[in-house]
Amino acid sequence: MTGFLILLYIVLYFVICGAFFQLAKKAGRDDIAWCAFIPILNTILQLKLIKVSAWWILIGLVPIANLVFSIIMQIKLLNAFGKNGAYVLFAIFLAPVYMILWMVWGYSSQTTYQLYEPPVPPGPHASF
């Protein structure tokens, strides 16, 4: 029975990591999408997807601040993919449902990344 649970955990881990790999590719971050499969780097990948510094991971070491910043990070991540920030309530109260939602969004072709860089305005020498 223990062997089955370990195997189930490994399969679920790779399915969830695969979903975040797909989300990184949708965000145009093919260069670091492989980070989704490495435990600490997948958090850094999520921070890069919401365009904040990877130094935020150090906030995870501060006892109360880590909860607050984890919620803020998840809301920003949801907004980056066009989802309502209220979905973070699933993360707080129903974590398995939240992970299933991320898997669905990761493998769905309808999920789009919405935090693209704004276009640079033309300089004084640009021609119209």
Residue range 5-57, pLDDT digits in tens: 999 999 999 999 999 999 999 999 999 999 999 998 999 999 999 999 888 88
The pTM of the full predicted model, rounded to 2 decimals, is 0.81
Domains of the chain by residue range: 7-107
Per-residue H/E/C for the chain: CHHHHHHHHHHHHHHHHHHHHHHHHHCCCCCCHHHHHCHHHHHHHHHHHCCCCHHHHHHHHCCCHHHHHHHHHHHHHHHHCCCCHHHHHHHHHCHHHHHHHHHHHHHCCCCCCCCCCCCCCCCCCCCC
Q: Specify the higher pLDDT residue, 116 or 126.
A: 116
Confidence of residue 105 (pLDDT cuts 50, 70, 90): very high
Query: Which residue's entry shows tokens 């993919």?
Result: 81
